[in-house]
Chain A
Amino acid sequence: MTSVKSLLTKPWIWSFLGALLVWLATIAFTGGYGAGGMVTAALSLAVFTVIVGVGQMFVITLGPGNVDLSLPANIGLASAVAMKVMDGNDSMIALGLLAALACGAAVGAVNYLLIWALRIPPIIATLSASFIIQSIDISYGRGLQIKPPPGFADFANWQVLGIPVLAILTVLFTIGAAIALQRMIYGRSVLAIGQNIRAAWLAGVNVGRIRFLTYTLSGALGGIDGALLAGYFRGANVDIGNEYLLASIAVVVIGGTSVAGGKANVPGVWGAALFLVLLLTMLNTFGVSAGVRLLLTGLIIVGVITAAGGQKALR
């Protein structure tokens, strides 16, 4: 019983509970029909939010004011770069993924350059960077859909016994990210900077290097996400990353990571991403109109954050 109690004190448990509740409500509505298919769809779609969510989580954990608003533009550009390098050719997949990764990492590095060299607050630096990136993308892609090679599209849609392979790989990646956050010097440094940047500096943490690495990591994850999105949705386009501006921040917050920085957890990103997709599943299944759907999404997110936050206030 003590294990259940200790589980309830974890900030990330609330996002999983929310996801479970929403799923149960949906299958109660359909009489159990399609329960497995919903989980498969949720896993397939949550993957993309998880990947950028983890990057955003590291950035937000750096402390107040740190946020990466360039993710949507970054995803859009990287998806176009990856598809153009692959050029419909299966043998170029690895090179295309590398190009997307490099493109994303470059965006992240430029973000930090703006923050560090010009002393622009991150929120403005990443926002203005996103305008520049988007303009590059429009002139680079000419607003056209660019198709992935068939092998890459099949890989992105590959399922084993109803479980998307991409989801399994992303679970492995998030386990790595959790270890990096909690057990490695890099992760501990990010947490230390988020708790008190001056104390971290006095304790010998190389603040500049860690922040640079974190923005670059977030950018690189956005880049790889763009390539995977273009594979799964079979086509790169300028708007492909649009929803990940708010979604990447929402999963971090719903997942129980502190917006003020210094406190983070990786499992919550998964719970929150599944919760958001299942919420969309529920509202689509109930057949509510577009306006009501947005309203309910807002109210339910507020509800979950309040439940998770209320628990913290008790301590």
Chain B
Amino acid sequence: MKKLFVLGALAAMLASGTALADTSGKKIAFSNNYAGNSWRQAMLDSYGIVTKKAVADKIVGAADIFTTADKEVPTQAAQVQNLILQGYDAIVINAASPDALNGAIKQACDAGITVVSFDGTVTEPCAYRVVVDFKDMGKQEVEQMAKFQPKGGNLLEIRGLAGTSIDDAIHAGILEGVAAHPEFKIVGSVTGDWDQTTAQKAVATILPSLPDIVGIVDQGGDGYGAAQAFAAAGKPRPTIIMGNRQDELQWWKEQKDKDGYKTWSASIAPGVSSLAFWVAQQVLDGRTDIPHDLLVPYLAFTQDDFEAELPKIVKGGVASHEYTQEDAIAAIKANIK
């Protein structure tokens, strides 16, 4: 994160003279399709904190949040069409489907509205996509594992929701990491759906048949369940890569206090919603050099800084990070090649 801030400060200095248009009268809407889990709650919180301040500082005129009740595509498509009619200048969207909303998105673009998607991104070319570098995250998991388990050994992989691009990307990164570190071997793979209960169940069923495991590479939301499954089976605790959830970091701290347990934690920050907001603001500001596909860093914690973060996360929630305008400018700069 530190590197990002330094870059951000530099970029801010460079960019300070380049603002082309005034955005203080612009209205930005946020179209969201679900609010029922801790990640989405944190996403809305981060977005609310950042945009309220942006409105108060007169950087934008309005930043309203619209959440539909279900995860359905037609509801969100209708919502986007309403937002077009209401005259918003930009729409930030976490979409229910990568392609089924393209029709509504195209209508918005044709009406001169800037569309920035994140997390649930859309494939419509006229929209911007803020994408986290999940492949690098998977690769980094194995790199970190090599530090904690220098002798190598057997790894268990916990996959995410089957068929999603995120699952594919992290998995590809992990395979790449293992190829670079032949001392590791993946001896088992289960599906945890990024969910603690599902992961614990899946690990519990495969555990009896597995040889000794030195580490678990996973996708976030599944580390605590895996730890419970090992404890329930009476097996020695491996190095489990965590995913920024409060219960995962809490467990990590307990283990660290007990015997100096070491691991690493990474996930997509729910506050990436605020980064998407700033990207929309930058487009409205008149910048034309912004790539439509923006790869942004994931949020990671190490042995040295996770304990400082822990008290800031709401109990049972997930670590977030509110991005600033400078962060967005830096991220855009990093993506212009």
Chain A residues in the interface with B (C-beta under 8 A): 26, 29-30, 33-38, 40-42, 44-45, 138, 142-147, 157, 229, 233-235, 237-240, 243, 277, 280-281, 284-285, 287, 289-291, 293
| Complex interface: stretch among B78-86, B128-136, B186-194 | B186-194
The yes or no answer to B233 lying at the interface (CB within 8 A) is yes
Which bracket fits the contact residues of B?
Answer: 35 or more
Q: Is the CB of A145 within 8 A of B196?
A: yes
In the complex, which residues of chain B have a beta carbon less than 8 angstroms from the beta carbon of A280? Answer: 201-202, 205
The yes or no answer to B35 lying at the interface (CB within 8 A) is yes
**Nearest chain A CB to B232 CB, angstrom units:** 5
- CA A34 – CA B204 in complex, angstroms? 12
Q: Is the CB of A284 within 8 A of B206?
A: yes
Question: What 12 new A-B contacts, CB under 8 Å, besides A30-B209, A281-B209, A289-B162?
Answer: A34-B210, A35-B208, A38-B205, A41-B205, A144-B38, A144-B316, A147-B247, A238-B37, A239-B195, A243-B198, A284-B202, A293-B191
**Nearest chain B CB to A273 CB, angstrom units:** 13
**Nearest chain A CB to B287 CB, angstrom units:** 35
In the complex, which residues of chain B have a beta carbon less than 8 angstroms from the beta carbon of A293? Answer: 191
**Nearest chain B CB to A82 CB, angstrom units:** 15
- CA A280 – CA B198 in complex, angstroms? 12
Q: Is the CB of A143 within 8 A of B36?
A: yes
- CA A36 – CA B38 in complex, angstroms? 37
The yes or no answer to B159 lying at the interface (CB within 8 A) is yes
Report whether over half of chain B's contact residues are helix, strand or loop; otherwise say mixed.
helix
A37 and B233 contact, Cβ closer than 8 Å, known pairs A144-B316, A144-B317, A281-B205: yes
In the complex, which residues of chain B have a beta carbon less than 8 angstroms from the beta carbon of A40? Answer: 208, 233
- CA A128 – CA B199 in complex, angstroms? 29
Q: Is the CB of A290 within 8 A of B159?
A: yes
Q: Is the CB of A233 within 8 A of B206?
A: no
Q: Is the CB of B225 within 8 A of A233?
A: yes
A287 and B189 contact, Cβ closer than 8 Å, known pairs A26-B209, A41-B207, A239-B195: yes
Chain B residues in the interface with A (C-beta under 8 A): 35-38, 40-41, 159, 162-163, 188-191, 195-198, 200-202, 204-210, 224-225, 228, 231-233, 245-247, 314-317
**Nearest chain B CB to A90 CB, angstrom units:** 18
**Nearest chain B CB to A93 CB, angstrom units:** 19
Q: Is the CB of A145 within 8 A of B247?
A: yes
- CA A5 – CA B189 in complex, angstroms? 42
Q: Is the CB of A235 within 8 A of B209?
A: no
A144 and B232 contact, Cβ closer than 8 Å, known pairs A41-B204, A291-B162: no
**Nearest chain B CB to A108 CB, angstrom units:** 23
Q: Is the CB of B209 within 8 A of A285?
A: yes
**Nearest chain A CB to B171 CB, angstrom units:** 11
- CA A289 – CA B171 in complex, angstroms? 13
Q: Is the CB of B208 within 8 A of A41?
A: yes
Select A143's contact among B41, B231, B232, beta carbons within 8 Å: B41
**Nearest chain A CB to B147 CB, angstrom units:** 27
- CA A240 – CA B36 in complex, angstroms? 13
- CA A207 – CA B225 in complex, angstroms? 44
In the complex, which residues of chain A have a beta carbon less than 8 angstroms from the beta carbon of B202? Answer: 280, 284
Q: Is the CB of B37 within 8 A of A41?
A: no
A138 and B247 contact, Cβ closer than 8 Å, known pairs A33-B209, A144-B315, A234-B228: no
